[in-house]
Structure 1
Amino acid sequence: METLANLESFVRSAEAGSFSSAARRLALTPAAVSRNVAMLERNLGVRLFQRSTRKLTLTEAGERFLLAIGGNLDALQAAVADAGAGTAEPAGVLKVSLPPTFGVTHILPLLPEFLARHPRIRPEWHFENRQVDLVLEGYDAAIGGGFDLAPGIVARTLAPAHVVAVASPGYMSGRVAPTDPAGLAALDGIAMRSLRTGRIRRWTMRHVDGTEMGALPGEKVVVNDPAAMREAARLGLGVALLAVPDVLPDLESGALIRLLPYWYADAGAISLYYASRSLLPAKTRAFAEFLVEAFKRERLAARFAGSLGPAFGA
């Protein structure tokens, strides 16, 4: 009878397309993963992969076998995880990818409490404005929005990602506040050029009654980072369209004011991403549960919702 290690090495190698990537996901060496797969092939009497120096490709037999065991392997792993959940103390390196501004402002302050609960976990947190590949890059989890959900990856929604128009009180002094998104065209705009597409990001704003309208402020300043947009708005250079979490402390302190308080743009959701089809390590499970609890306790979903009207309206 095949061991769980052999079957899991095969499935993860098939998902990642290489022994090295599967090894990072399984915390094994590439040689160990290769041996596990070779043992499985020997016991089955069929070749499951075509091997090259650059990539693994499933054979026809490998494709049939993957289809046959995938769901059963998930169920077995879940049973093992449930059985061990009460006894395994979370430990080890927890590699997480987070957006810089959001991560530093809202997630990093939670770290002391998390480590007090789980002192054997060692955080390795990467603050970066990009979508990582959890499996290929060996991340335990990622926080952000709009990730491509590759096979075996799930998104656990934490809060809405709503974008609102903000400016400094000094900039708006003596200016007439716009009454709808079209009115932003009369003001100086702080725009963002996407690192991925090279284009200026445009937004369609939605009124709380459901009406939609394009928001086209001028382009007095163009940057490629949300933190720079926020700082430019603080400096009184114009109006910026930014996610509520990125400007919430400034709205609460009065350093920035929200324009068009009944209008917002919906950028999707802020989610926690992790691999669900593998045996979820205790450290990752502990982090996910802690994060969901903290968001609920701090009412972050409600505080991030630009659709709730003029909490910080001008």
Structure 2
Amino acid sequence: MSITIFSQGRNTSRWESALKERRPGLEVYVYPNTAPPADQVEFALAWNHPPGVFTSFPNLKCIASTGAGVDHILRDPELPEGIQITRIVDEDLTQDMATFVTAQVLNHVRGLHRYKEAQRSHTWKQHSYKRTAEVVIGVMGMGVLGAHTAQQLSKLGFKVNGWSRSPKLIEGIGAYAGTEELTAFLEKANILICLLPLTKDTANILNKDTFSKLPKGAYIINVARGEHVVDEDLIDMLDNGHLSGASLDVFREEPLPEEHPFWEHPLIHVTPHIASITNPASAVSQILENYDRMRHGESLINVVSKTKGY
């Protein structure tokens, strides 16, 4: 019995410990440092794996993402056919995302960042703010993370609309779907939150055309993938005053290069991809459940559609 971890640029020790603690006797390998014979690798745990690496394992049956996203797997042009791909669906991950987004929304609505700046200059000045009932929030992507985030914001008194590939009917949340309803969705959003999966249809969706359809002064929060944003378009729309600011947790290149203009832009709040980080101790149960299901020939949980990309 073994699981092989494929991950570039990440410390895998917490996953190793969680797997061994929950399943004593399970052999856990970390490629390329350790690995069983190629024909014995059946279950892979992956994040940002080396492209093409899976072609070396003829009996591989499942690739399990260590996070909610799977674009890092699906972008591999040499991904073997017939292998099931799964993702993490975890309550901790979901709640962490909702909490982070809520914090960014409230910081913007109440203008809390202004007072930190005022404190540095010993300036005592009160600023006006909007109340929750005056703000319309648009959530792009109504999967597990998006739906829960939308519901949490709605409970705080915000008017919340959701936009997705197909209609998602959630009590208290306005429902918009498809390209034909995107403009109507955008025109109402004072705050736009991106929680879309990254697919060929959603890449670069946060562009000048999208931003121009938002109300003047709209605020952008991207916690999905950096490839959703056209960086130059965002800067242009901030500089011309159409957008009031942006909170970005994900980027096209991570870590964000030192010379990138996002670092110094006064209207952009940068965080280092920390909105929602998988907790191996919490998520390991579903990894092991799928491992057992694979070994017994049973249907897996949280399987990804390669066609849809999520």
Question: Is TM more than 0.5 here?
Answer: no
TM-score under structure 1 length normalisation: 0.31
The answer to which structure, 1 or 2, has the higher relative contact order (CA under 8 A, 6+ apart) is 1
Higher fraction of helix: 1
TM-score under structure 2 length normalisation: 0.31
